[in-house]
């Protein structure tokens, strides 16, 4: 009971220190509020409102059909221009794509020949240029094939692939990026808050005051872990119910309570990593550099940005040592596929064991650092 009382007393001290740190509080509020909204809705691998201009030298029904095949939200309504306006429009950023349909294009299609369409691209708009080129060529090819089939120029119709999605029928990228965005905020803020709290104690000289009190190293570490994890947990709960389900209107296939339980376990693991980094780093500047080296692999290798299966073969086993990998695994399973505890409990267990491992290493290093001066 005395240990529990000490931890609760230390947690109260952490809450008071955090409450006085307005910058950190604003960072937490922003990250799980407006920041998460912008990361979820502003990311994605699609394009929106892309400008396309046609130079129609054919003036046929097929050329007009190609223009009407482009529609929002991926593309803006196409505009038309003369050939001598192409260079100026691309130089001044008035359009991203200029599609030039040559004269006699429809006649060539009807005759069974392979006509050529020229697409001029403003490659300085990197994302729209790279992704939009695939969209544009696919839409134009499909429309030409459809026109040729109606004209009885294709003996065997092209098979149509029908895709049905159980969770996200429309393929909205926001739904899939929200969980990844939440993981990024969880990992970054939990590690930063916990590690910064320990370094702040060292820089202010209060860590020595704590060690001469009847307190153990594990009580000090657990108090910092629980206090900072509780703050992030409250912010995560707000983001889950208010931002995800309220503002972004993202449905939830599984149990919110089960996800919150798993998140609490992951917060313990992430906070343990923060304690470890706070012990290794001697100053706040060193801690900032370590954050850059640790946060990015945690985000990239978790499977949120790129699937683990798409990563190099030699790297995939290493990702099992990251709690974020297991969190992303069960968070996606609960959110998207409605998985229950019988399915996700191994990921829960791995996340907890990795957190306990990081905490154990932290305590060993903490005792050595204090005893060493």
Q: Does 163 map to a domain? A: no
Q: Does 161 map to a domain? A: no
Q: What is the mean pLDDT of residues 345-372?
A: 84
pTM given for the model: 0.70
- 317 and 233 in contact (C-beta within 8 Å)? no
Query: Are 293 and 350 part of one and the same domain?
Result: yes
Tell me the β-bridge partners of 99.
Answer: 54, 119
Task: Tell me which of 119, 150, 181 is where a domain ends.
Answer: 150
Query: Are 13 and 136 part of one and the same domain?
Result: no
Query: Are 88 and 111 part of one and the same domain?
Result: yes
Estimate the crossing angle of helix 22-32 against helix 217-238, to 10 degrees: 40
Query: Are 8 and 92 part of one and the same domain?
Result: no
Query: Are 129 and 225 part of one and the same domain?
Result: no
Total domains in the fold of the chain? 2
Q: Does 156 map to a domain? A: no
Q: Does 224 map to a domain? A: yes
Query: Are 10 and 144 part of one and the same domain?
Result: no
Q: Does 227 map to a domain? A: yes
Query: Are 197 and 221 part of one and the same domain?
Result: yes
Long-range contacts of 334-338, Cβ-Cβ distance < 8 Å, separation of 24 or more: 334/253, 334/254, 334/255, 334/258, 334/259, 334/262, 335/179, 335/252, 335/253, 335/254, 335/259, 336/167, 336/168, 336/176, 336/253, 337/166, 337/167, 337/253, 337/254, 338/253, 338/254
Cα gap 217→223, rounded to integer Å: 10
Q: Does 320 map to a domain? A: yes
- The Cβ of residue 342 has, within 10 Å, a number of other Cβ atoms equal to 6
Question: Is the pLDDT reported for residue 45 higher than 70?
Answer: no
Query: Are 360 and 274 part of one and the same domain?
Result: yes
- Each residue's pLDDT tens digit, 186-236: 888 888 888 888 887 776 666 666 666 666 777 777 888 888 888 889 988
Instruction: Give residue 152's pLDDT band: very low, low, confident or very high (50, 70, 90).
Output: low
- Residue 220: name the closest of 9, 369, 372, 361 by CA: 9
Query: Are 218 and 361 part of one and the same domain?
Result: yes
Instruction: Give residue 155's pLDDT band: very low, low, confident or very high (50, 70, 90).
Output: very low
The residue range of the domain holding 88 is 52-150
Any idea what the CATH number is for the domain that residue 60 is in? 3.40.1710.10
Query: Are 112 and 238 part of one and the same domain?
Result: no
Query: Are 303 and 211 part of one and the same domain?
Result: yes
Q: Does 331 map to a domain? A: yes
Output the six-digit token pair for 177: 């990026």
Q: Does 17 map to a domain? A: yes
21: left (phi over 0), alpha (psi -120 to 50) or beta: beta
Query: Are 204 and 120 part of one and the same domain?
Result: no
Q: What is the mean pLDDT of residues 279-304?
A: 81
């Amino acid at each position: 009971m005395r240990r529990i009382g000490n931890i609760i007393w230390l947690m109260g001290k952490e809450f008071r220190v955090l409450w006085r740190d307005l910058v950190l509080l604003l960072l937490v509020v922003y990250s799980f509020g407006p920041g998460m909204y912008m990361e979820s809705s502003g990311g994605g691998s699609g394009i929106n409102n892309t400008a396309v201009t046609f130079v129609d030298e054919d003036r046929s029904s097929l050329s007009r059909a190609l223009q009407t095949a482009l529609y929002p939200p991926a593309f803006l309504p196409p505009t038309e221009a003369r050939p001598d306006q192409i260079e100026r429009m691309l130089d001044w950023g008035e359009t991203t794509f200029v599609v030039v349909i040559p004269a006699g294009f429809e006649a060539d299609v009807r005759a069974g020949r392979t006509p050529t369409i020229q697409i001029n691209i403003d490659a300085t708009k990197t994302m729209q240029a790279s992704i939009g080129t695939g969209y544009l060529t696919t839409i134009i090819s499909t429309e030409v094939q459809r026109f040729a089939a109606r004209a009885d120029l294709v003996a065997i119709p092209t098979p149509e692939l029908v895709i049905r999605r159980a969770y996200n029928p429309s393929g909205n990228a926001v739904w899939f990026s929200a969980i990844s965005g939440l993981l990024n905020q969880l990992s970054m803020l939990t590690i930063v808050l916990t590690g910064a709290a320990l370094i702040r104690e060292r820089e202010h000289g209060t860590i020595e005051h704590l060690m001469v009190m009847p307190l153990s190293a594990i009580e000090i570490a657990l108090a910092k872990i629980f206090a900072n994890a509780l703050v992030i947990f409250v912010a995560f709960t707000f983001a889950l119910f208010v931002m995800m389900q309220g503002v972004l209107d993202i449905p939830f296939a599984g149990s919110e309570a089960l996800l919150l339980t798993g998140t609490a376990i992951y917060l313990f693991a992430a906070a343990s990593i923060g304690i470890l980094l706070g012990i290794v780093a001697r100053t706040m500047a060193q801690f900032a550099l370590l954050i850059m080296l640790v946060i990015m692999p945690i985000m990239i290798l978790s499977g949120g940005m790129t699937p683990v299966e798409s990563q190099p073969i030699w790297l995939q086993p290493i990702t099992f040592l990251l709690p974020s990998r297991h969190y992303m695994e069960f968070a996606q399973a609960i959110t998207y596929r409605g998985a229950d505890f019988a399915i996700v409990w191994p990921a829960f267990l791995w996340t907890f064991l990795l957190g306990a491992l990081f905490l154990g290493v932290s305590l060993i290093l903490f005792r050595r650092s204090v005893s060493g001066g």
